[in-house]
Structure 1
């Protein structure tokens, strides 16, 4: 596991610039560094040593030194690939997984990615051809940013590394901000900075003599396939999970697991316990607020499998202390509040281990979100088209102002009835509604995002899905939007900030491809989510864990914003610095704050604004405030 960076150009790049980039991501690789440079390329990396600790330094090269690679991630089938490559005459200089990349490239060119099982973001420099290949893993577990400037291209694992170059624009991309306020994250291919892009999951980028080409090499296929009985499928799910867990337990450094008390993380711990002759080290975060505290469920699993269990309780005061630090690590505004407990559980785990396994991906593969059951029930309800405008109008009116929470929820339901299934789902996934953003934006920001509808990102994901059932189609949408944009970013940043590697058995592409072809009714059965997975895990887990409602990894955000975090929120969102950006109307922001204090829940929208402001001060303002400014415009608004 590492951080990578580099520059390629038709003119000689500056190797010292790459060293400066790598210094900014030392936390991703505190165990070492390595560099390569020639007349057209400079590559660098920081290493967190997991496999071949003694000899697995980077960059790695082929036999004659004409191909070089730097790599972030883990290739779980590297021993199998190595045996195949040795049989074809390739000679290896190390025992690391990274070295298979250069030899696979010699055999298969850019199609080498189809042979890899794992998580990765890598750069391969073909010295003779002056050709750079960048690749990102299938679902987006490992990040990769890039910037093209003329005939040059720079890349890095994190934005902060690219920002080491003073030529990179610090200007906020208004479209990225527009999408962020809807979805709580900046979706690929955008980044929060103009001119910098994310390589999307499952994509390649090829640079050659200044020309850039992107290609998608993988997309999860939800096309239905013939299946047997549920009992056989449950057994196959167990075997696939055991295999995915087994390959992720290869490590020369101490290894453990996140254990939240939910079905997914508990299933991974159960699989690890079956595969290990030593007690599994498990780590859990809890809260003083019992509504959000799952420690008792995690403890039940820990006792059942005799794990070496560790806990930490997060308080509002703890969140207050860590917020600026977290904002600096994310490099972009990020408003999933579960990043706070994720950071703390990573910090706790790193005191004991270097690698952790987690339950990420179980919901997207087996239908775990309650919104799937909701959309299955009402997703295809289509009132007559002539009623849509009325339902939207009445629903929006009920949602505005100081209406009681119950009336606001009823209004939102009416609005959903007046929308297409795609827009209904986008609405369920939104922080700010389109109306909320219209009220919030100044005239200057309105002008910059005119005609851009964030909901179109969800609609396009719907339109490209091959699933023929509602539940599978929703999961397909999440695999292409929410999973890589939110969940995987959160885990990568919070773990790597603590020099900790996270591995996700449920995101094994063999398991995901098998689960994608299963009937939707096996995943969501009435109001029961993850129906098949729960059947599969019944022999492994306590019954109270199987039958409990899904809790998620939430935090008492509304209470924090009325208590411990209230002074920070008011100070940061209403002071001169925030107002001077000219992005948001101050009276609308103050109205949201006041509404929340008076008992009307505006926590999600306030959190999105607060995280943007924290990010701007921690990252953008340190190198110059570049947001568009304009005179504030009066308006009344709401948070959707």
Structure 2
């Protein structure tokens, strides 16, 4: 795991070695072990190294091909690099190191862009071809490693994080209002946008080719649900087990200490169980807990740790979140509000004291239908299909309005359900999962902002993705949507930033693209059966996890937001929300927002998630916009 950055000199002089130094200094946390730069008349590249494989200087980057024609900076891990290396060696390639980086170089030298089809891993890299005078930039299939780029008036720069790009001189920080709206709807800014007007994300499973004439972006892979397996359940169960064992072992290859995140949930427990089966020594495990028992999974994690005799480490998040929040937020270069970023930061910090690489259970919920929202959506969609579209579109909005007049949670829930059912399945999925209702947004946003956003709505991101899916049924379509949106835009961003903030590499076996393709091929009833989520995955893990844990209610990395805003975050929130320099004052009507704050404090309503999004936006704005303008 590392950090990369660079720029083009085709049309603009960025400032040479000093500019490269500023860029790689901005991402020092991603790779504290070594750094390097490359500069010629056309391109500048820089690299920060977190040493994982081949700890010698032979693994430092930028790295050159055997003939010196190719130069690469690479962030990530290629899990099948040993078999690729063996194949290349059989063709006569002589390697100078034992790294996966060199394998990419030599594979590209022989197969060009098609090398992407053979790479299995998490990666973002930039490869300069001196002969072609082309820069080839690519991201892995599911987006585990990030890549941002800046393009404006002939200038071009890229980096693992936006802060590397912002380290260059005169990079404009104009904020996109549509991205602000997206953020409050999703808690993140969806690709290919960023919060900044001229900075973009290279989407997962895409590559870019840049030369003196400009650049092109091409998708090289997508996840298909249309080829449904006709094999028996037992066959699929055996195949899934074998596949998970294989990909877990691949991710245990490391020249530095290795362990695992353990929440006590199905996915992380299953990964730890498979690691324990494959490891000759006790697995190092790390768990985060909370004082609030409703959000604390430490006891469940401890049960798994004891079962597999792991070297277990625990940390309890006490009442000190406010003290560290600004520091934690500084690692996100754009607004990000998934509250589980807090425990993810702390578990990464804890893990780094014992290991340099940690395996995690990410991906199980999206690949195998593990979220509670899939149950909710399943019920809603069955209800939706019982009524003609004409009835839903004409009668239900009126009924929703009437339900809204009923006091208490019953009225609110009825209004929400009727509103959702009045729309089609794609829009209904957006409404169910949006973090802010249209009604709330419209009541808070300033008139001039609303006018500038006229005609724009964040739902298009969900709807467009849903309709791109090729699955045979509704569940397949919403799983595809979550994998391409929520997982890549939220889950993987959170894990990358919070682990890299602590110079820790995180590997997720379930996120192997072969597991993703296999899961997509399973019939929906083998993923979600009679209300049981992750059905087949649980069948695989049943021999390894006690049934009391396997079938307990999912918690995930939850946080007590409603409580925090009436307690430990109250002072920080009040200080920031009502500061005249707050970034919120440009977007929201302060008097309307005051009503939300007062209602939450009085416990008439719980607005913790909205308040959290607002606090995250404001703290980001303070760090990346306000302080830079002073």
CA contact (8 A) 1:470 1:520 kept: no
Could you say which residue in structure 2 is the equivalent of 1:39?
41
Q: Check if 1:185 corresponds to 2:188.
A: yes
Could you say which residue in structure 2 is the equivalent of 1:221?
224
Could you say which residue in structure 2 is the equivalent of 1:498?
502
Equivalent residue of 1:525, what SS? coil
Equivalent residue of 1:562, what SS? coil
The one-character-per-residue Cα deviations of 1:280-339 (angstroms, maximum 9, x if unpaired) are 000001111111111111111101100011111112x32111110111101111111000
Could you say which residue in structure 1 is the equivalent of 2:6?
6
> Alpha-carbon deviation of 1:469?
1.7
The one-character-per-residue Cα deviations of 1:161-185 (angstroms, maximum 9, x if unpaired) are 1111232111211111111110000
CA contact (8 A) 2:129 2:135 kept: yes
Closer/same/farther in 2, CA of residues 249 and 43 from structure 1, 3 Å limit: same
Gaps of 5+ in 1: 626-640
Instruction: State the alpha-carbon separation in 1 of the partners of residues 475 and 72 from structure 2.
Output: 40
Which aligned pairs between 1:612-631 and structure 2 lie closer than 5 A?
612-624=617-629
Instruction: State the alpha-carbon separation in 2 of the partners of residues 210 and 606 from structure 1.
Output: 46
CA contact (8 A) 2:74 2:126 kept: yes
Number of matched residues? Answer: 623
CA contact (8 A) 1:151 1:209 kept: no
The one-character-per-residue Cα deviations of 1:134-166 (angstroms, maximum 9, x if unpaired) are 101101100000011333310000011111123
Equivalent residue of 2:189, what SS? coil
TM-score relative to the length of structure 1: 0.95
Could you say which residue in structure 1 is the equivalent of 2:423?
419
Q: Check if 1:602 corresponds to 2:604.
A: no
Instruction: State the alpha-carbon separation in 2 of the partners of residues 226 and 211 from structure 1.
Output: 43
Q: Check if 1:154 corresponds to 2:165.
A: no
Q: Check if 1:85 corresponds to 2:88.
A: yes
Correspondent of 1:559 among 551, 563, 575: 563
Could you say which residue in structure 2 is the equivalent of 1:633?
none
Relative to structure 2, which stretch is displaced further, 382-391 or 223-232?
A: 382-391
TM-score relative to the length of structure 2: 0.96
CA contact (8 A) 2:581 2:626 kept: no
Could you say which residue in structure 1 is the equivalent of 2:578?
574
Could you say which residue in structure 1 is the equivalent of 2:123?
120
> Alpha-carbon deviation of 1:428?
1.7
Instruction: State the alpha-carbon separation in 1 of the partners of residues 530 and 454 from structure 2.
Output: 41
Instruction: State the alpha-carbon separation in 1 of the partners of residues 404 and 343 from structure 2.
Output: 31
> Alpha-carbon deviation of 1:436?
2.0
Relative to structure 2, which stretch is displaced further, 445-454 or 573-582?
A: 573-582
Equivalent residue of 2:259, what SS? strand
Equivalent residue of 1:528, what SS? coil
Correspondent of 2:145 among 133, 142, 145: 142
Correspondent of 1:285 among 283, 288, 295: 288
Instruction: State the alpha-carbon separation in 2 of the partners of residues 246 and 494 from structure 1.
Output: 24
Equivalent residue of 1:85, what SS? helix
The one-character-per-residue Cα deviations of 1:74-123 (angstroms, maximum 9, x if unpaired) are 00111111111122232322111101111111112112111101000000
Could you say which residue in structure 1 is the equivalent of 2:98?
95
CA contact (8 A) 2:465 2:484 kept: yes
Which aligned pairs between 1:492-531 and structure 2 lie closer than 5 A?
492-531=496-535
Instruction: State the alpha-carbon separation in 1 of the partners of residues 401 and 484 from structure 2.
Output: 29
Could you say which residue in structure 2 is the equivalent of 1:457?
461
Instruction: State the alpha-carbon separation in 2 of the partners of residues 152 and 101 from structure 1.
Output: 27
CA contact (8 A) 1:170 1:620 kept: yes
C-alpha root-mean-square deviation of aligned residues, in Å?
1.5
> Alpha-carbon deviation of 1:399?
4.8
Q: Check if 1:163 corresponds to 2:154.
A: no
CA contact (8 A) 2:400 2:419 kept: yes
> Alpha-carbon deviation of 1:398?
4.5
Equivalent residue of 2:624, what SS? helix
Equivalent residue of 2:225, what SS? coil
CA contact (8 A) 1:366 1:530 kept: yes
Instruction: State the alpha-carbon separation in 2 of the partners of residues 416 and 467 from structure 1.
Output: 22
CA contact (8 A) 1:58 1:69 kept: yes
CA contact (8 A) 2:583 2:622 kept: no
Q: Check if 1:534 corresponds to 2:541.
A: no
Instruction: State the alpha-carbon separation in 1 of the partners of residues 542 and 221 from structure 2.
Output: 33
Could you say which residue in structure 2 is the equivalent of 1:347?
349
> Alpha-carbon deviation of 1:275?
0.5
The one-character-per-residue Cα deviations of 1:621-640 (angstroms, maximum 9, x if unpaired) are 12117xxxxxxxxxxxxxxx
Could you say which residue in structure 2 is the equivalent of 1:637?
none
CA contact (8 A) 1:373 1:526 kept: no
